[in-house]
Amino acid sequence: MTQQIYVLNGPNLNLLGTREPEIYGTDTLDDIEQRMKAAAPEAEITFRQTNSEGQLVDWVQEASKTANVLILNAGAYTHTSVALHDALRACDAEIVEVHLSNPAAREPFRSTNYVAPCANASIAGFGASGYLMALTAILQNKKD
Question: Exactly one of 45, 47, 70, 73 binds ligand CA2 (CB under 6 A); which one?
Answer: 73
Shortest Å, Cβ 71 to ligand CA2 = 12
d(CA 2, CA 48): 19
Q: Which of 16, 84, 95, 128 binds ligand CA2 (CB under 6 A)?
A: 16
Q: Which of 99, 119, 134, 138 lies at the binding interface for ligand CA2 (CB under 6 A)?
A: 99
Strand intervals (E) in 10-140: 44-49, 69-73, 94-99, 121-124
63 binds ligand CA2 (CB under 6 A): no
Catalytic residue (one of 85, 99, 114, 131)? 99
Residue 67, amino acid? A
Q: Compute the radius of gyration of the chain from its Cα atoms.
A: 14
C-alpha closest to that of 97 among 82, 106, 83, 84: 84
99 is catalytic: yes
Residues labelled as active-site residues: 24, 99
